[in-house]
Amino acid sequence: MKKINLIFGTHNHQPIGNFDSVFEDAYQRAYKPFLDVYERFAHIKISKHYTGILYEWLLEHHQDIFDRLKTLVSKGNVELIGGGFYEPILAVIPDEDKIGQVEKLAKFIKKHFGFKATGLWLAERIWEQHLTKPLAQAGVDYVILDDTHFKFAGLSEEELLGYYITEEQGYTTNLFPISKALRYTIPFQPVEKTIEYLRSVATDDGKRVVVFADDGEKFGVWPNTYDHVYTKNRWLEKFFQALTDNRDWIRTMTFQEAVAELKPIGRIYLANASYAEMMHWSLPTAKSYRAYEKFEHDLKDEGMLDGNDVFVRGGFWRNFMVKYPESNQMHKRMLEVSERARELAEQGKKISAKTLDKIWAAQCNCPYWHGVFGGTYLPNLRHPIYQNLIDAETDLDKVDNADGAVTASVTDFDKDGQEEVILKSNELALYIKPSEGGKLIELDYKPAHKNILDVLTRREEGYHQQLKSPPKPTNTGAEGVASIHDVVKMKEANLASHLNYDGYRRGSFIERFLIDGVTVQDVYQSKPCDAGDFIISPYTHKLSGTKAKQVLTLDCDGHVYTNGKTYAAHITKTITLQKNKSEFTVNYAVNLLSDDALRVRFAVENCYGLLAGDAHDRYYYFDNQLLEHNRLRSIGETRAAMIGLKDEWLKIHARLEASEEATVMRYPIETISLSEDGFERVYQGSCVLMCFDIELTKKPYALTLVQKFSRL
């Protein structure tokens, strides 16, 4: 009788910052019912991976699952897989952090389950060959990857029924390919489809190994899967029963058993890759995204895709940091804090394990990219990244800058070949980008551990086309269920009407000259509004100051276009940050470079990312005025010399004061993104424009703005 070895594994994860209700829902709909079914078939060997984030939540909220897992592990039928504790993209974090995160999870598993985890679940299966060395140094014996990676190296389907060894600088680890065939049949197709596939690859010597390893959330959390897997179709019970009925030729085994009993097929070196969908999502523009999609569909229609799909691939994961500068900002901020901690440690200064842990927590991968899940579009996922980074930096300040001196540095912070200026005190951190309008791209209010500029720019996504043309229905068969990649739902009607795109990256202290008659609705809808070109023009910069005060002076020559004429103009913007103050001052001098006189509307644009737009405890206020609609998602215009925003949940009070009265426009920054629950409108933050109607001449017009913060 022909036989086959099957390794069946699941990966369970929830990101830092996800709501408790989401954790609980996943527990009730996937993690718990999976074990409920499996315990009736505990003779079957399976492999389970839980991220450290999820382990800690389960330990706090459902201690009983630890006892159940420990019993199953002690019997030898459940293998626990290791990985990075906080589920980072290992390829893009420092090697010291790679090793630290892997060792932290291994120690946790050993402490709570008495099991030595020697394998690694690689977040999003994002592989780069240099990972081999640090993973081997961390004691990793095997890594689980998509079979697509191996096909890119030229291997055929038949050459993927086992595992390979790989090497970097003499360090080795083993690589297991995940079967794409099983990834698409389990649990979406009838159980018979999986059994038929296993029968087709079984051999007389029974040495082949087939691997299924995928998200545990596919078993209950993904759309329509709970009924399919547990109640209506009882897919999981039927699957385990089928394995039981066919155990005379299907042997279930663990990864550790495979490495111990079977030799690797051979040595392999793999290209940089992730799973196919991820490489599609990482394409840097909506145009390239749709072009790839069309090309793949054209090949399929012509019958040319099957057998040739290995030669059709999308982009490279790291280009998410090109596609989303906000993702790049988080990543480079993480590298900055991690490097500072290492440098201080090398100087002999004591860096606590808690501080390092905050840095590692900020490496959780989910908000750094976006695909079928909300990812970087979700403020509640980005917020804890910055929260941990700013908290860690505050710890490091106590070690390295106890007197609270104001510092200034000029560096290519975001690694784009242009210099950024960074001003820091013990209260605030300001990241300024002279090459793009001299705007602030990060504004950290340290007492609240909050990046006030954690706001995502409104961009066109390739999948936005689906909002304009209805998708074709998916036929899954009598007992099947559609994959999350094939399901298209809308969380509210008329979402296409909210597709507004920004022509520049969001930030604060952006200078604009507005066309006559522009309304707040025009600005909200990104209609042509500007009569100037200062928004993205490069500014020169000059620093001066002391430990008590740092002053940054930014200058730009630009143009104002109105009445069919072009006027040369100049802006000087001076930013002053002082010690022990939760505020900074921005002084403007704006003038024409000719003897003309020009009536213009000069506007300064600021953004505030305060997490919730519709909550009653997040709102605007004006001195001595009552707003009919004051929530942060409101739209309006008000005459005032100030505007305040309060977030009672975060306990943040932001107040912007001007030296003269202005027309203050306010509107929400809302994006339309794809999530597991369908297309949704997400409040990213609030935009405030202070608009001043002035006469512009050769004599500089002077204006002062003060941005203040306090704790509620």
**pLDDT for the residue numbered 488:** 61
CA dist 388 and 358 (Å) reads: 5
> Which of 247, 272, 297 is a domain's end point?
272
Max distance between CA atoms of the chain, in angstroms, equals 96
Per the domain annotation, does 527 fall within a domain? Answer: yes
User: CB of 520 within 8 A of CB of 667?
Assistant: yes
Q: Do the domain assignments include residue 511?
A: yes
Q: How far is residue 608's CA from residue 653's CA, in Å, rounded to a whole number?
A: 11
| Residue 11 included in any domain | yes
**Chain position carrying tokens 């704790």:** 711
Residue 473 has pLDDT above 70, yes or no: no
Residue 550 placed within a domain: yes
| The pLDDT of residue 404 is above 90 | no
For range 526-535, the mean pLDDT: 96
Residue 187 belongs to what domain range? 4-272
From the candidates 79, 87, 97, 124, give the one annotated as an active-site residue.
124
Looking at residues 245-269, what average pLDDT do you find?
A: 97
pLDDT at 478 over 50: no
What's the CATH number where 174 sits? Answer: 3.20.110.20
Check residue 470 and give its pLDDT: 59
pLDDT of the residue at 490 = 80
From 327-341, 491-505, 591-605, the region with the lowest mean pLDDT: 491-505
The answer to whether 505 and 436 have CB atoms below 8 angstroms apart is: yes
Given 252, 272, 292, which residue is the final one in a domain? Answer: 272
Residue 413 pairs in a beta bridge with: none
- Whether the predicted pLDDT of 477 surpasses 70: no
Which of 243, 272, 301 is the C-terminal boundary of a domain? Answer: 272
Active site residue 680: no
- Active site (annotated) includes residue 124: yes
Average pLDDT, the chain: 95
In a domain, 88, yes or no: yes
Angle of helix 52-61 relative to helix 95-113, nearest 10 degrees, comes to 30
Q: How confident is the model at residue 471 (pLDDT cuts 50, 70, 90)?
A: low
pLDDT digits (tens, 9 = 90+) for 51-80: 999 999 999 999 999 999 999 999 999 999
Q: Which among 397, 448, 441, 439 has a CA at the least distance from the CA of 582?
A: 448
- Note the pLDDT of residue 557: 98
pLDDT for position 468: 77
Domain-located, residue 423:
no
The pLDDT tens digits of the residues spanning 571-581 come to: 999 999 999 99
Q: What H or E segment, with its residue span, contains residue 70? A: helix 63-74
Asked if the model's pLDDT at residue 474 lies above 80, the reply is: no
Catalytic hit among 215, 460, 555, 670: 215
C-alpha–C-alpha distance, residues 481 and 185, integer Å: 10
Q: Write the CATH number for 603.
A: 2.70.98.10
Flag whether 468 is in a domain: no
pLDDT at 475: 47
For residue 378, give the nearest of 456, 484, 462 by alpha carbon.
Answer: 456
Query: pTM for this structure?
Result: 0.94
Work out the pLDDT band at 641, boundaries 50, 70, 90. Answer: very high
Residue 136 within any structural domain of the chain: yes
User: Residue 339 above 90 pLDDT?
Assistant: yes
559 pLDDT higher than 70: yes
- Give how many domains the chain has, as a whole number: 2
Provide mean pLDDT across the span 467-492: 60
Q: How confident is the model at residue 223 (pLDDT cuts 50, 70, 90)?
A: confident
Render pLDDT for 645-675 as a digit per residue (tens, 0 to 9).
999 999 999 999 999 999 999 999 999 998 8
